[in-house]
Amino acid sequence: MFLSKIYFVLVALLAGVAITAAFVAPRPADRRIEQLEGQRMDRAQYAAEQLLRNDAHRWIDYVAKLGRDAHLAEALDSSSRGVGEPKALHETVRSRLKALVPDRVSVGIESLIAVDNKGRVVARMGDDEGEYGQSIIGVEVVNDALRGYLSDDVWGDGGRLRRVGAAPVISKSRDRIVGAVVVAVETDRRLAEMWKQNLGVEVALVLGKKVISSTLPEALLGHLPDLIEQRSKEIATHKRTRAMPIDMGNERMLMVAAPFVGEASEQGA
């Protein structure tokens, strides 16, 4: 079964917002501390968006290069035209994918899928390698690729987050689209740790009602999904929340929540 697209939220946490000052400083000073730290959180949230865009472009470029392979184009063209035996084409395409990406695990790719121009899976690498013939034509990034666009998105699957990129495969004669290649990369823990290092804040990723990855102890985070739900209108309007103080255990922190979505802008192939 292919992944289901899902909406999820990135939560950035700032640990220890001058907890001592909250008791000994005048209220105006306390508010000023939160204001200054809130500005830092705003900058961190903006920087996180830039990191997301950079990561999206990296994987889009990667899958676009795969989509230009002549051997892959020839096999997907045959599948699209109904020429050749499906099992033989499946084995040919799967072997070609393995030759193109011999280091799949080390580069972080969980799944690689090739479809013909009807959206039928011709071969997979990674998850469910023996399965083929299913249609995934309704998947947005696949539809985009079959229309000639490079695109990316973020999907949820079994409590995990995956960044997905897709690219069209053009016929050897360069006159039509014969299929698409889709790459899926697991995100969550790797992303949370990278952002903590680069942004200097704590990070939690929330999928629905569940915190699926965090650089903070899970015991502190049980109320995050409810907080995000309470701010859903603000997020829908402004694509993020304002920096807001919250209490976690015995510490006072600031939180900024924003939707973690795909790159959104399509690029012509």
Strands (E), 68-139: 109-116, 121-126
The structure's pTM equals 0.77
Q: What is the pLDDT of residues 248-263, one digit of tens each?
A: 777 777 888 888 765 4
Strands (E), the chain: 4-5, 8-14, 109-116, 121-126, 149-157, 160-170, 177-186, 202-207, 210-214, 244-248, 251-260, 267-268
For residues 221 and 26, the answer to whether their CB atoms sit within 8 Å is no
The pairing of strands 267-268 and 149-157 is antiparallel
Q: What is the pLDDT of residues 60-89, one digit of tens each?
A: 999 999 999 999 999 999 999 999 999 999
- Cα distance between residue 81 and residue 143, in whole Å: 18
Q: Which carries the bigger pLDDT value, residue 71 or residue 247?
A: 71
The pairing of strands 121-126 and 210-214 is unpaired
Length of the chain: 269
pLDDT band of 187, cuts 50, 70, 90: confident
- Cα distance between residue 178 and residue 188, in whole Å: 33
Tokens of 141: 């990034």
**For residue 7, what pLDDT is reported?**
40
For residues 148 and 177, the answer to whether their CB atoms sit within 8 Å is yes
Q: Letter for the amino acid at 105?
A: V
Asked whether the predicted pLDDT for residue 124 surpasses 60, the reply is yes
Of the chain, the end-to-end C-alpha distance in Å amounts to 28
β-strand partners of 179: 116, 169
The pairing of strands 251-260 and 267-268 is unpaired
pLDDT band of 225, cuts 50, 70, 90: confident
